[in-house]
Structure 1
């Protein structure tokens, strides 16, 4: 089962996801391809003093506790053409105690005519980092990976670009996820999904992003 949040008029087909059990899911994955269509003026972005939008279409696996998250990986491609066209993974954190929503998105973003591997991390406000895709390889098919990592200094999420040969290239470490007063993550529900967005308001058509090999692992 996956959940679609699609704000466009395009019909889409849900593909079956394989789970180890219905009582205690430890893996949700599928090699089936699916497509998201993002209309113009869709985005996930938060910038002071007051801009806060979460309007991009997504396709997500069932929500679970952040404490159970292990990793998420997805492969995707598109014909990028408009400024800020984007696709990839989005992790959305919703608090059980009423704190403000947080999120992380990572994938490809088309910026100033260049395909950029992009990560945006939003705690109170969003911050953004990019590196040209050509710094890693010349390819149309993109794979990104988010992993929970516990090292000698503590706990965080590592975000990687995965090359065609399987090599993991580190993009960013995000440490606030297990911070505050709840290092266990039990106060937060996590929704992991595929994302497509076309922020350009004057674009004449939708962005079409093809996804495959969507794999989410839980402890």
Structure 2
């Protein structure tokens, strides 16, 4: 997982610009709008496509890494990486606060959303990195807390012919004003194998 290069944020573009995004040194601090989210239909019956994502190209054979501080305190506060083809085909993965505990998970959307997650209480308030690696017909998502080991989060289908964008995302479905400090946004080559650690 080497060869990552920092993305020039001026060359990326916002999907749903946030109320505020401020550079603090090399970090980017993003403040969310009221009750924004990304979700399609399943169980809840609604479609939301109004969270915030700063996106750059993710061609086949490449990977994106997003790092942020997981300091959340309200139900469904969330941040991580988004990979997006269009409003009906996208994946978001990262940390979301559920039942008072941060959870590591992913939502894979192909017309409708599904959600998988696992609690990571010891990741609260710490730096988390989420990596999405695109190779062939698949997207492999991994995550780590600070300098800990990489954990597999999800293997999901991604049309090899699709033009995809990727980058940091955040939203706060229950409130306004979540501040997320993104400490890294890089791209590089895809992982060499599914089981690369």
TM-score range (shorter-chain normalised) is: 0.7 to 0.9
The residue number in structure 2 matching 1:206 is: 177
Could you tell me which runs of 5 or more consecutive residues in structure 2 were left unpaired when the two chains were aligned: 1-10, 191-197
Contact 2:32 2:172 in 1 (8 A): yes
The gaps in structure 1 that reach 5 residues or longer are: 16-30, 95-99, 179-184
For residue 35 of structure 1, the aligned residue among 29, 36, 58 is 29
Report whether the alignment pairs 1:192 with 2:184. no
- Rg comparison, structure with higher value: 1
Give the alignment's Cα RMSD to 1 decimal. Answer: 2.6
Give the corresponding residue for 2:47: 52
**What's 1:3 paired with?**
13
Deviations 1:53-98 (A, max 9, x none): 110112122x35x4x341111110143111110001000013xxxx
Is the CA contact (8 Å cut-off) linking 2:35 and 2:172 kept in structure 1? yes
TM-score, length-scaled by structure 1: 0.72
Counterpart of 1:18 in structure 2 is none
Deviation at 1:149, TM superposition (A): 4.6
Please tell me whether the aligned partners of residues 7 and 55 of structure 1 are also in contact (alpha carbons under 8 angstroms). Answer: no
Is 1:120 aligned to residue 111 of structure 2? no
Alpha carbons of structure 1 residues 2 and 198: separation in structure 2 relative to 1, 3 Å: same
Aligned counterparts of 1:84 and 1:163: Cα–Cα separation in 2 = 19
Deviation at 1:165, TM superposition (A): 2.9
Q: Deviations over 1:120-172 (max 9, x none)?
A: 000121000111113x756611111112356xxxx422111124335211111
What TM-score do you get using the length of structure 2 for normalisation? 0.79
Q: How many equivalent pairs are there?
A: 179
| Corresponding residue to 2:139 among 154, 157, 166 | 157
Which ranges of 4 or more aligned residues in structure 1 deviate by more than 2 Å? 4-13, 136-139, 163-166
Residue pairs, 1:20-169, within 5 angstroms: 32-48=26-42, 50-61=45-56, 63=57, 66=59, 68-94=60-86, 101-134=88-121, 140-149=126-135, 155-169=137-151
**Superposed displacement of residue 116, structure 1:** 0.5
Q: Distance in 2 between matches of 1:87 and 1:126?
A: 17
| Cα pair 1:158 1:173 within 8 Å, conserved | yes
